[in-house]
Structure 1
Amino acid sequence: MQGGSGQGGSAWGFLLPMILIFAIMYFLIFRPQAKKQKQHQAMINALKKGDKIVTAGGIYGTISGIKEKEKTLIVKISDNVKVEMSKSSVARVLGKEDGSS
């Protein structure tokens, strides 16, 4: 009879560490990732014409137009070079162009 009660104890002994590992993973991995994604989405929503940006591919440019319907940006890379790209490809906003250059 003692063998039966020992079986139940070992099940909890296995299940409790698994629950703890999942809870630790949630707080160390999933929550920070969701927070980072929320911040990135807020940055994308705040983009406006004239902002200097860096794309995920490392391209520096200035936003010269925004197409809300297509969720794309027109980015001026050089004097006669403009590229249309996805809003989500923006990695960082450097600031507003001052117009002195």
Structure 2
Amino acid sequence: GSRIVFLYIVEHNDRSKEISQLLSKHAGDMVYELKVERLKEGETVASAILEEIKKGMYDLVVVESRGRTGVEALLYNSVSTAIALSAPTSVLILR
């Protein structure tokens, strides 16, 4: 069957309980179990997401863009751009 995975990466994991409750509220019946993992020290948000993509064998990954484009996106090392360039699967970037 199909599955939907909500992945929310927080660099400082002191908000994990709050985020878990928020995801449960908004995902409703779709989420049966929430898995919380801590980022390893020095790991970036993009590398953590890419690691999960490689482990999870996803058909499609949907990420949100922060609205940066062009030079600004390059200067700020856009997470969505990094994922789109390095993911082993299709990536849909939402604005």
Larger % of strand: which? Answer: 1
Please identify the structure whose Cα radius of gyration is greater.
1
Asked if Structure 1 and Structure 2 have the same fold, meaning a TM-score greater than 0.5 normalized by the shorter chain, the answer is: no
TM-score of the superposed pair, with normalisation by structure 1: 0.20
TM-score of the superposed pair, with normalisation by structure 2: 0.21
